[in-house]
Amino acid sequence: MKLIFTLLVAMLLAASSFAQTSNVYFTSFPTLTPDGGTIIFSYESDLWKVPVSGGNATRLTAMQGAETRPRVSPDGQWLAFSATEGGNDDVYVMPLNGGPIRQLTYHSSSDQVESWSWDSETIYFESGQQNGGTTYTVALDGGTPRRMFGHYFNRIHSVAEAPNGDLYFNDTWESDNQATRKGYKGEFNPDIQYYNPKTKAYKRLTDYLGKDMWATIDRSGTVYFVSDEGNGQYNLYTFKEGKKTPLTHFPEAIKHPQVSADGRKVVFEKGYQLWQYDVATKQSTLVPLVLPQNLTLPKLQDFDVKSKISAFDVAPDNKKLAFVSRGALFVSDKEGKFVQQLNTRPEERVLEVKWLADSLTLLYSQTVNGYANWFTQTADGKGQEKQITTDQQGNRHLTLNDKLTQAVYLSGRNEVRLMDLKTLISTTVANEELWAFQNDVPSFSANGEYIAFTAHRDFEREIYLYHIKDKKLINLTKSGVSEGEPTWSPDGKYLYFVSDLLKPNYPFGSDKTKIYRLPLTKMDEPFRGEEFEKLFEKEDKKDDKKEEDEKGKGKKKKENKDTKKEDEKPFVTMALDTVDIMERLEQIGPDFGAQENVAVVQKDDKTYILYVSNHEEGKEALWRTTLEPFEEPKTEKVADGISSYDLVRADKSYYLLAGGVIRTLDLEGGKTKDIAVDYTFRKNLKDEFRQMYYEAWAGVEENFYSGDFHGTDWQAMRDNYAKYLPYLTDREDFRTLFNDMLGELNASHLGFYTRGDEEEVFYENATMESGLLFDPAQPYRVARIVKRSALDKEKKSVKPGDLLLEVNGETVDTTRNRDYYFTKPSRDDEMKLTFRRAGADTNYTVRLHPQSSLSGNLYDEWQDWNQRYVDEKSKNRIAYVHMKNMGMGEYEDFVKDMTRDWYNKEALILDLRYNTGGNVHDLVLQFLSQKPYLKWKYRGGAFTLQPNFGVAAKPIVMLINEQSLSDAEMTATGFKALKLGKVIGTETYRWIIFTSGKGLVDGSFFRLPSWGCYTLDGDDIEKEGVKPDIYVKQTFVQRLADEDPQLDRAIAEIMGELK
């Protein structure tokens, strides 16, 4: 009996253990102790340890924020890691067997631990203190970090030190911030390479076009790393006799391998769990875990609707409101005093809501596995929710006609649908290129005969009218620019819209849209003479008597019938004459700024046009222009701080939603008044994360530019990653999961960004940069002042060699990390530094306005060096212009450089290397394409060419490299197609899809790369990149030595032409 009981207990314990170990996911960044006996890893934002065979895990840290990237020193005494206790990653260290945690770095950039030196005295970490990110070292005992590699664009990371002093590393985005992108093959691929700082020896060990990355090295010098060469998934590799050799063949990717110092074990992530590879047996096994789990995501949280309402409607009886906040649906009285939440699906999101004619039934949209569908429910909460549509595409922008008998909405990428509000049956009435987001709201004409909507032609919006009875579709505008927001006048005589008639909306949008009124027929303005004649018209006494009789009878009628009769709108007759219709356009409103978000209301003989405009000091506000016969238009401000709004009419009242607040609108007085709606409701993050997962997946499914999803089964990816949703423990897990799924598309311009209040930490860090660079060997002695920085000012007396003594009156300890004195909870406007000059007995003090970063200044210095080099080598005959990105500000700087530098020289080098994109390719190419076509002069003066900047008449060379991306690739493609000159360098990144994005229920955001970019021959630039005419590569070692063979070749090519 005792034996049976013992066996039963053992079985129960085993079952309990299995239950605890089988559901531990999102364990990350594993590392090993030197003997390979213990794994240290990150879980629920803390560090834990567990035997390599698995079992009970023990928590090591419990700091605020997240602790990640643990690394054990080779002597087994110390644990280094990164932690966000101060709001950003800093490097910390603690005794492995317990003891005080010490902070080693203080800069407000992200400092991410990578590895240890073999003497256990130094920690390698990546930081963006002076550029996009490169490797630094910091001593175990503290002190100021030292940057390992020179040159602004040597972006070194994933450093692992070999026992002989070789430093193995990667240096591309694809092994760093784009490591989740699977399948990338291109010039910017990561390779395993090493460099020895002492011997200067350098070697690239792999040359595969895909990804080889994340080297980790044992004490014998054996290198392990990740590659996707075998089957397209990240697997573990090593070198055997110098040959790249796979060790695993998993069908799913591994992450972040780390070998033990003794070389017995390699630990890594797979399927969000810990795995270990036994070097001797060549077998990989799951590491079973037993640890306490505090699952907080299912816990309810309080949320408030106050100032957070995203959609609303007012009942036809003007007594009730319906509104949406954080994806939940609510009903209240029109003053917002009595609020009730309606029962909707907790794991889904409500987006829009409308009242039906009975002032009882609500028609609203709600996601179903990501796609918005239509539902109904009675507003009193007594009925059951009923799903009306079951579409696998998003339904949106619902509008009801004035009689509340029909509704129009958009569905998917192409459909305009009409819904019968009695049967709730929808019919597709138009199939056009709508796009599945960024749409105008369709609308009914005043008499309900027409629907107005916009569709795209050549990327620009055009206004279409659909006649419901005749089933006739009319393209009304037919222009090469965008016309949007079609809005009918209540009298049926006009159609209002916004447009910039002078330029297309794409590729860089418009900041000068105006409001236009389009008369639907050829109409005259009212005549003053007719009004004068009315003064002498005789009144009809019979009509007067009849009116008195009617008033008497009216007393016997019910009040509600009287009210209904008074509120009935007269039938609106409409006519449409499309002949030369666009010639009848009339501009309404200000001539300055941009106007949008138009609504039109009429009362008696006054027409009120409401809109958002920034014509007053560039600040957006709600404005009103009033049109009245025989009066000049009158434009007045209604409310400040409104950038968008929704307007609703109920009975004779008007309401608007702006900035999350419902307001009443006094139409004649031109004032708004907030309706104070304050109600607390509850949701949990588990349901919310699930809903966000499916909605963001569906957003990509509907809008991704490539219909074959780059060969990925996108639905299978959804289902594969969804199986991990039940195991999320926090927002970081969710962030990791969704970005991993996006990586399966092997595409650029993807990303999921989320931040929650639960991730906030108490402490904050802000580093103040002075503009000084210090001697690495003497970290408090000035090396130089960075040009254009805070201390690069007249009368600032700091010179190289000066020794920093005090920061804001605090005496420095030169053994301490210098950043400690320049990093505080917030950034000061002013600071005071005290120095001593070498050889002098007195100190001096300077005041300065510190800056947040030196990175931009150091980038500018790289440009300055190139400019001087080209001037020197070409003897001032060649202009050099670099563009950091393709934004409007950088374009303006480009033009200024051309007017000052190119104008006085004989040729141009346009440097688009490292360019991070934007959308001004067309402006740049138009400027470069200018050719002289005539010349003119004043009598006795010199001839001058037209245009002044005939750039194409002089030699041009464009420089590109593996980091030229996005709109830089568009520009290079156009440059080649237009045959404007030679292109020198390497193939571009293959990172070009024009992109937008969408928000989610909690304010999270995901990117939508929706518009593919192709050569005239139809080649997808995202897949092919741009190839140079002359291939020249600049290596890591050449950058270290400040050698630029690409720039040298460009100079040589142009000088050859100039001879």
CATH number at residue 797: 2.30.42.10
CATH code at position 103: 2.120.10.30
249: in domain: yes
Is 281 a residue whose pLDDT tops 80? yes
Taking residues 533-539, report their average pLDDT: 86
The partner residues of 51 in beta bridges, in order of sequence, read: 38
At residue 859, what are phi and psi to the nearest 5 degrees?
-60, -45
Q: Based on the domain organization, do 808 and 887 belong to the same domain?
A: no
Give the span between the Cα atoms of 378 and 691, in whole angstroms. Answer: 24
- Min mean pLDDT across 397-411, 519-533, 610-624 is at 519-533
The boundaries of the domain holding residue 122 are: 2-282
307, amino acid identity: S
687: in domain: no
Crossing angle of helices 714-722 and 685-703, rounded to 10°: 170
Q: What's CA 667's distance to the chain center, in Å?
A: 38
Is 127 a residue whose pLDDT tops 70? yes
Cβ proximity of 287 and 622 under 8 Å: no
Q: How confident is the model at residue 796 (pLDDT cuts 50, 70, 90)?
A: confident
Coil vs helix vs strand at 123: strand
Q: Pick from 130, 53, 233, 319: which is nearest to 857 by CA? A: 130
Task: State residue 550's pLDDT score.
Answer: 53
Is 255 a residue whose pLDDT tops 90? yes
Task: State residue 130's pLDDT score.
Answer: 96
Residue 450's Cβ-count burial label (10 Å; 0-12, 13-18, 19+) is buried
Q: Based on the domain organization, do 847 and 860 belong to the same domain?
A: no
Task: State residue 3's pLDDT score.
Answer: 41
Q: How confident is the model at residue 506 (pLDDT cuts 50, 70, 90)?
A: confident
The pair of three-digit structure tokens given for residue 1034, joined into one six-digit string: 């600049």
Count of structural domains, the chain: 3
What is the DSSP code (8-state) at residue 131?
Answer: S
Residue 382's Cβ-count burial label (10 Å; 0-12, 13-18, 19+) is exposed
Coil vs helix vs strand at 892: helix
Contacts by residues 641-650 (CB-CB < 8 Å, ≥ 24 positions apart): 642/612, 643/612, 644/597, 644/612, 645/597, 645/610, 645/612, 646/311, 646/312, 647/599, 647/601, 647/610, 648/312, 648/313, 648/314, 649/314, 649/601, 650/314, 650/315, 650/316, 650/317, 650/318
Is 916 a residue whose pLDDT tops 60? yes
Cβ proximity of 416 and 454 under 8 Å: no
Q: What is the CA radius of gyration of the chain?
A: 34
223: in domain: yes
- Min mean pLDDT across 34-43, 349-358, 469-478, 570-579 is at 570-579
Give the span between the Cα atoms of 912 and 897, in whole angstroms. Answer: 14
Q: How confident is the model at residue 543 (pLDDT cuts 50, 70, 90)?
A: low
Give the span between the Cα atoms of 814 and 965, in whole angstroms. Answer: 43
Q: Based on the domain organization, do 120 and 253 belong to the same domain?
A: yes
Give the span between the Cα atoms of 962 and 178, in whole angstroms. Answer: 14
Q: What is the mean pLDDT of the chain?
A: 94
Written in H, E and C, the secondary structure of 501-527 is CCCCCCCCCCCCCEEEEEECCCCCCCC
Q: Based on the domain organization, do 221 and 150 belong to the same domain?
A: yes
Residue 1036's contacts (CB-CB under 8 Å, 6 or more residues apart) are 154, 156, 171, 193, 195, 202
Cβ proximity of 885 and 918 under 8 Å: yes
Is 9 a residue whose pLDDT tops 70? no
Q: Based on the domain organization, do 204 and 138 belong to the same domain?
A: yes
Is 111 a residue whose pLDDT tops 90? yes
The pair of three-digit structure tokens given for residue 27, joined into one six-digit string: 């364990």
Is 474 a residue whose pLDDT tops 60? yes
Give the span between the Cα atoms of 384 and 381, in whole angstroms. Answer: 8
Residue 547's contacts (CB-CB under 8 Å, 6 or more residues apart) are none
Task: State residue 17's pLDDT score.
Answer: 38
Q: How confident is the model at residue 332 (pLDDT cuts 50, 70, 90)?
A: very high
Residue with tokens 């000035």: 782
* DSSP labels, 556-578: TS-HHHHHHHHHPPPPPP-----
Q: Based on the domain organization, do 936 and 819 belong to the same domain?
A: no
Cβ proximity of 250 and 270 under 8 Å: yes
Answer with the one of 267, 282, 297 that is the final residue of a domain: 282
- Min mean pLDDT across 15-19, 265-269, 300-304 is at 15-19
Task: State residue 541's pLDDT score.
Answer: 57
Give the span between the Cα atoms of 393 and 372, in whole angstroms. Answer: 7
Q: How confident is the model at residue 510 (pLDDT cuts 50, 70, 90)?
A: confident
Residue with the bigger pLDDT between 886 and 543: it is: 886
Give the span between the Cα atoms of 502 and 251, in whole angstroms. Answer: 54
The pair of three-digit structure tokens given for residue 135, joined into one six-digit string: 């490797």
Is 693 a residue whose pLDDT tops 60? yes
Q: Is the dihedral of CA 145, 146, 147, 148 positive or negative?
A: negative
Taking residues 957-963, report their average pLDDT: 99
Task: State residue 10's pLDDT score.
Answer: 42
CB atoms near residue 297 (< 10 Å): 21
896: in domain: yes
Q: How far is CA 387 from CA 344, 366, 367, 1037, in A?
A: 11, 9, 11, 64
Cβ proximity of 648 and 670 under 8 Å: no
Give the span between the Cα atoms of 805 and 838, in whole angstroms. Answer: 12
At residue 4, what are phi and psi to the nearest 5 degrees?
-60, -45
Taking residues 466-487, report their average pLDDT: 97
Coil vs helix vs strand at 138: strand
By annotation, the residues acting in catalysis are: 749, 966, 1022
Answer with the one of 833, 851, 869 that is the final residue of a domain: 851
What percent of the chain lies above the pLDDT cut of 70? 95
Give the span between the Cα atoms of 516 and 513, in whole angstroms. Answer: 10
Q: Based on the domain organization, do 839 and 905 belong to the same domain?
A: no
Give the span between the Cα atoms of 496 and 611, in whole angstroms. Answer: 11
Q: Based on the domain organization, do 885 and 841 belong to the same domain?
A: no
The partner residues of 908 in beta bridges, in order of sequence, read: 879, 956
Give the span between the Cα atoms of 936 and 948, in whole angstroms. Answer: 11
Give the span between the Cα atoms of 676 and 493, in whole angstroms. Answer: 37
708: in domain: no
310: in domain: no
Give the span between the Cα atoms of 947 and 939, in whole angstroms. Answer: 19
Q: Based on the domain organization, do 37 and 69 belong to the same domain?
A: yes
Peptide bond into 507 cis (omega under 30): yes
Cβ proximity of 35 and 73 under 8 Å: no
Give the span between the Cα atoms of 661 and 312, in whole angstroms. Answer: 10
Give the span between the Cα atoms of 785 and 773, in whole angstroms. Answer: 6
Task: State residue 560's pLDDT score.
Answer: 47
Answer with the one of 832, 851, 870 that is the final residue of a domain: 851
Give the span between the Cα atoms of 130 and 108, in whole angstroms. Answer: 12
Q: Based on the domain organization, do 926 and 1041 belong to the same domain?
A: yes
The pair of three-digit structure tokens given for residue 405, joined into one six-digit string: 């008998």
252: in domain: yes
Q: How confident is the model at residue 1059 (pLDDT cuts 50, 70, 90)?
A: confident
Taking residues 772-795, report their average pLDDT: 95
Q: How far is CA 764 from CA 67, 293, 825, in A?
A: 16, 28, 5
Give the span between the Cα atoms of 215 and 193, in whole angstroms. Answer: 9
CATH code at position 926: 3.90.226.10
Coil vs helix vs strand at 542: helix
Q: Based on the domain organization, do 833 and 935 belong to the same domain?
A: no
Taking residues 755-768, report their average pLDDT: 93
Number of separate helices (H) and strands (E) present in the chain = 15, 74
Bridging pattern class, strands 350-355 and 265-270: unpaired
Give the span between the Cα atoms of 309 and 645, in whole angstroms. Answer: 12
913: in domain: yes
Is 828 a residue whose pLDDT tops 60? yes
Q: Based on the domain organization, do 835 and 862 belong to the same domain?
A: no
Task: State residue 564's pLDDT score.
Answer: 44
Is 559 a residue whose pLDDT tops 70? no
